[in-house]
């Protein structure tokens, strides 16, 4: 790979730090001393610590008497009895977890090496049946349980709900009629953790890493007013138990959680308030949000030289393990962009705008990564990912204020 720093960056962004092996000195991957419960274990508890050991072990033979449908890991087969959940999931980023940008990185370069490949798939495609290389130093190619179609499906239903053909889920809705005596796959085991924020933490929180936590979403939430009110990750990202997981890419959801308005009084200022965001806005290092103000003439055109901007986001120096800047807005907090220059004679109004660029960082990665690739399939996938990243930004709000 011609880009060692880039490989490190991609590995971190892909969640591969969770794949770090135990060090020779005996320290656990998340920084816990031998014999002491790690931060991860303390947060997750006994059930989730076991449930989220990844890659998830192969399911093995199905129980005697089960039909192929009951034993299937294909989301479409799950949808035979859970059509709404399937329909929601198909629109989600979980279904796109094996995206072109992710898949392309696993073909050529440092992330194509077996250890890195298995590590990065721990969140994106967590089942052993989705791993094209087996565990251990031999790294068997395409082991017997491997299913390429299932791998391409991304984070599937079984990734969260099935372990050794045992099905798990949240408590049954009180308004539903009693289940029949005979239900497919022997029903499911009720676990309250499915309604708790810590259920999401294994893939959306990096625990006790050396340097800095690239993703700190769980602890941002834990310290927020939302957590104090008992509002969980699921409250916003799975409303009414919908399997949607909308986030920064979804303009409608962001618009419902963030307010943009002109400030009262002087000086003239545009204010963004993270009113209903239960973590830093944005939580991850990849998006950028830009607040801007410019003066407008009578024809509706921007007046040259009047544009001012404020960037909301986080930039990390991955080599040094430190923030270059972090201007993100805490839960309930505000960002403010104030006008200091006087209006131009031809100005008739000020325009304030907030744009969201969810894939800002990835776009830069793909632009630098693409010219280094020799494999045709990898080039095609990264080129497609780059094109997708170039059209994911959107205008969150635009306000006009007459002079």
Instruction: Work out the average pLDDT over 325-330.
Output: 98
Q: Mark whether 197 and 275 lie in a shared domain.
A: no
Retrieve residue 12's tokens: 């971190």
Q: Indicate whether 403 pLDDT > 70.
A: yes
**If we measure between CA atoms, which residue out of 279, 280, 262 comes closest to residue 271?**
262
Q: Mark whether 194 and 264 lie in a shared domain.
A: no
Instruction: Work out the average pLDDT over 78-100.
Output: 97
The verdict on residue 228 lying in a domain is no
The verdict on residue 104 lying in a domain is yes
Q: Mark whether 308 and 378 lie in a shared domain.
A: yes
What was the pLDDT predicted at 210?
Answer: 62
209 confidence band (pLDDT: 50, 70, 90): low
What was the pLDDT predicted at 36?
Answer: 65
Q: Mark whether 35 and 171 lie in a shared domain.
A: yes
Query: Which of 179, 204, 229 is the last residue in one of the domains?
Result: 204
The verdict on residue 72 lying in a domain is yes
Q: Mark whether 182 and 291 lie in a shared domain.
A: no
The verdict on residue 211 lying in a domain is no
The verdict on residue 180 lying in a domain is yes
What was the pLDDT predicted at 207?
Answer: 86
Instruction: Work out the average pLDDT over 277-285.
Output: 97
Q: Mark whether 199 and 265 lie in a shared domain.
A: no
Q: Mark whether 92 and 190 lie in a shared domain.
A: yes
Segment 223-265, tens digit of pLDDT? 999 999 999 999 999 999 999 999 999 999 999 999 999 999 8
Q: Indicate whether 33 pLDDT > 70.
A: no
The verdict on residue 27 lying in a domain is yes
pTM for the model stands at 0.89
The verdict on residue 240 lying in a domain is no
Instruction: Work out the average pLDDT over 270-295.
Output: 97
Whole domain around residue 381: which residue ranges?
A: 251-402
Q: Mark whether 189 and 265 lie in a shared domain.
A: no
Q: Indicate whether 359 pLDDT > 90.
A: yes
- The tally of domains found in the chain comes to 2
The verdict on residue 79 lying in a domain is yes
Q: Mark whether 180 and 64 lie in a shared domain.
A: yes
Q: Indicate whether 48 pLDDT > 50.
A: yes
Query: Which of 204, 234, 264 is the last residue in one of the domains?
Result: 204
Q: Mark whether 27 and 117 lie in a shared domain.
A: yes
Q: Indicate whether 7 pLDDT > 90.
A: no
Q: Mark whether 155 and 286 lie in a shared domain.
A: no
Q: Mark whether 42 and 134 lie in a shared domain.
A: yes
288 confidence band (pLDDT: 50, 70, 90): very high
Task: Quote the mean pLDDT of the chain.
Answer: 90
């Amino acid at each position: 790979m011609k880009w060692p720093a880039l490989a490190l960056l991609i590995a971190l962004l892909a969640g591969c730090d969770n794949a770090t092996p135990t060090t020779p000195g005996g320290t656990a991957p998340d920084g816990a001393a031998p014999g002491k419960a790690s931060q991860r274990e303390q947060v997750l508890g006994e059930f989730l610590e076991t449930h989220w050991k990844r890659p998830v072990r192969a399911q093995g033979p199905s129980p005697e008497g089960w039909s192929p449908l009951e034993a299937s890991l294909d989301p479409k087969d799950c949808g035979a009895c859970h059509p709404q959940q399937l329909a929601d999931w198909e629109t989600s980023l979980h279904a796109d977890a094996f995206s072109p940008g992710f898949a392309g990185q696993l073909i050529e370069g440092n992330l194509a090496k077996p250890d890195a490949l298995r590590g990065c798939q721990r969140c994106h495609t967590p089942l052993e049946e989705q791993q094209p290389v087996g565990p251990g130093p031999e790294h068997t190619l395409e082991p017997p349980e491997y299913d390429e179609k299932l791998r391409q499906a991304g984070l599937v239903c079984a990734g969260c709900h099935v372990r050794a053909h045992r099905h798990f889920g949240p408590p049954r809705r009180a308004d539903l009629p009693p289940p029949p005596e005979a239900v497919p796959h022997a029903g499911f085991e009720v676990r309250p953790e499915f309604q708790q924020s810590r259920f999401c933490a294994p893939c959306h929180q990096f625990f006790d890493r050396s340097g800095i936590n690239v993703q700190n979403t769980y602890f941002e939430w834990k310290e927020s007013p939302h957590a104090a009110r008992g509002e969980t990750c699921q409250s916003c990202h799975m409303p009414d138990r919908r399997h949607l997981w909308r986030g920064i890419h979804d303009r409608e959801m962001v618009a419902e959680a963030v307010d943009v308005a002109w400030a009262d009084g002087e000086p003239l200022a545009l204010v963004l308030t993270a009113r209903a965001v239960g973590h830093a806005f944005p939580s991850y290092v990849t998006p950028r949000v830009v607040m801007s103000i410019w003066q407008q003439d009578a024809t509706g055109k921007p007046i040259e030289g009047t544009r001012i901007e404020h960037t909301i986001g986080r930039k990390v120096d991955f080599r040094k393990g430190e923030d270059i800047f972090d201007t993100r807005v805490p839960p309930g907090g505000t960002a403010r962009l104030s006008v200091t220059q006087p209006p131009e004679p031809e100005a008739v109004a000020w325009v304030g705008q907030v744009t969201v660029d969810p894939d800002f960082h990835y776009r830069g990665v793909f632009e630098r990564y693409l010219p280094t690739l020799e494999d045709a399939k990898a080039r095609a996938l990264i080129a497609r990912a780059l094109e997708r990243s170039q059209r994911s930004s959107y205008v969150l709000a635009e306000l006009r204020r007459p002079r």
